[in-house]
C-alpha cells in the first residue's frame, strides 16, 4: 500500500501520473474536508501539497503523525510554523527563483502606473472626461529618480536591475549590507532613513515576525507627500491601517499594492482613491511562471521520494543530513 500525498491544490493529470509511482493522491478543498478522512487514512499521509496562501494549523498537522514532506507552491513561507516544522524534522520545499522576473516586472508596472497614472487616466477616458474636461493632469517621472528597495534578496536584485534601465539611483535596506553589490547600490541602515532618501520605495522583504509592519506610520511619514510606496511582498509587512490614512491624507503621494493583510479582503477605503493602484496578488501570475512553479513544486516531491530531501528547501528547513 502506497503512502498518501494529501493535496490542498488541484494536481494536473500529467503530474499525477508522475507522482502515482510513489504516492496515492487525495485532493481536498480545505482543512475542514480533511477532518472527514479517517484516522487510518490520515496516518498514511506522508506528503502534503499546499501553498503560502493556505495556512496550516498545528491541529491539522498534529492529525498527520507520519507527515515527512511538504511542498509549498510559492515563494512565501510565512504561514508555516518554523519551530513546529523543525521539531518534527519535516522537509519543507518551496518554489523560489522561478518567479523572480515576473514579480520584479509587476513591481515596475505598479510603480509606472501610479506615477504616470495609467489606470486612473484610463478610467478618465472611458468615462468621457477627456471630451468634457479636457487634457488629463500631469503625472510624475520615474526615469532618473531615487529608488529604495526594502529587502535586497533575489527579487530585490531583479527589481534593481530593471530600475537601472530607467537610470534610477538605487538605495536599499537589509538587516546587513550586501558585500556583493556594485558601489552604486547604496545601503541605508534603517527603513525610516531609506524612506527619507527616496522617491519610490518598493517593499520586497519576506514576511517574518521581525518584518511585520516594518513599513509603519513613521516610515510613511518619512517617505513624504512627494513619494510613492509599492508593495509586492506580503500585506503583513505594511501597517495597512496607517497606509490607508496616509493615502487618504496625502501623507504619501500614492501606492501600488499587490498584497494585503486579509486577502482577498481589501480595505474598501482604497476603492475610492485615485492615488492607489490595486492588483489581486498577481505578481507571479503568468502562464510561464506558474508552470515553472508547478514543475518545481512537483519536483520537490519526486526528489524527496528518491533522495529523502526536497529539491529546494525553505532556508530554515535545511537539516544537513
Catalytic center residues: 234, 263, 281
Instruction: Render 44-62 in DSSP notation, one character per residue.
Output: TEEEEEEETTS---HHHHH
Task: Give CA–CA dist 93/268, Å, rounded.
Answer: 35
Task: Give CA–CA dist 129/310, Å, rounded.
Answer: 55
Task: Give CA–CA dist 85/60, Å, rounded.
Answer: 13
- What distance lies between CA 317 and its chain's CA centroid? 19
Query: In this structure, what C-alpha cell is assigned to residue 313?
Result: 528547501
- Strands (E) located in 181-310: 185-187, 200-203, 228-231, 254-257, 276-278
CB 90 within 8 Å of CB 69: yes
Amino acid at each position: 500500500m502506497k503512502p498518501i500525498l494529501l493535496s490542498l491544490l488541484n494536481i494536473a493529470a500529467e503530474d499525477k501520473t508522475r507522482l502515482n509511482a510513489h504516492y496515492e493522491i487525495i485532493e481536498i478543498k480545505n482543512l475542514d474536508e480533511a477532518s472527514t478522512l479517517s484516522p487510518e487514512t490520515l496516518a498514511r499521509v506522508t506528503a502534503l501539497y499546499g501553498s503560502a496562501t493556505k495556512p496550516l494549523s498545528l491541529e491539522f498537522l498534529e492529525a498527520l503523525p507520519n507527515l515527512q514532506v511538504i511542498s509549498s507552491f510559492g515563494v512565501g513561507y510565512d504561514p508555516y510554523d518554523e519551530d513546529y516544522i523543525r521539531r518534527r524534522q519535516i522537509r519543507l520545499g518551496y518554489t523560489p527563483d522561478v518567479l523572480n522576473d515576473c514579480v520584479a516586472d509587476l513591481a515596475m508596472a505598479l510603480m509606472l502606473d501610479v506615477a504616470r497614472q495609467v489606470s486612473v487616466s484610463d478610467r478618465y477616458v472611458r468615462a468621457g472626461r477627456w471630451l468634457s474636461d479636457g487634457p488629463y493632469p500631469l503625472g510624475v517621472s520615474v526615469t532618473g529618480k531615487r529608488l529604495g528597495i526594502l529587502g535586497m534578496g533575489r527579487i530585490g536584485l531583479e527589481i534593481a536591475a530593471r530600475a537601472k534601465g530607467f537610470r534610477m539611483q538605487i538605495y536599499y535596506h537589509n538587516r546587513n549590507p550586501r558585500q556583493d553589490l556594485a558601489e552604486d547600490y547604496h545601503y541605508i541602515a534603517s527603513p525610516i532613513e531609506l524612506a527619507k532618501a527616496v522617491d519610490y520605495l518598493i517593499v520586497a522583504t519576506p514576511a517574518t515576525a521581525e518584518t511585520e509592519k516594518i513599513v509603519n506610520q513613521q516610515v510613511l511619514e518619512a517617505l513624504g507627500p512627494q513619494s510613492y510606496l509599492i508593495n509586492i511582498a506580503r500585506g503583513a509587512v505594511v501597517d495597512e491601517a496607517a497606509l490607508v490614512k496616509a493615502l487618504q491624507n496625502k501623507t504619501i503621494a500614492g501606492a501600488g499594492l499587490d498584497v494585503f493583510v486579509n486577502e482577498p479582503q481589501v480595505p474598501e477605503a482604497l476603492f475610492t482613491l485615485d492615488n492607489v493602484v490595486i492588483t489581486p496578488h498577481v505578481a507571479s501570475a503568468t502562464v510561464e511562471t506558474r508552470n515553472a512553479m508547478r514543475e518545481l513544486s512537483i519536483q520537490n516531491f519526486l526528489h524527496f521520494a528518491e533522495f529523502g530531501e526536497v529539491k529546494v528547501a525553505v532556508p530554515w528547513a535545511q537539516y544537513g543530513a
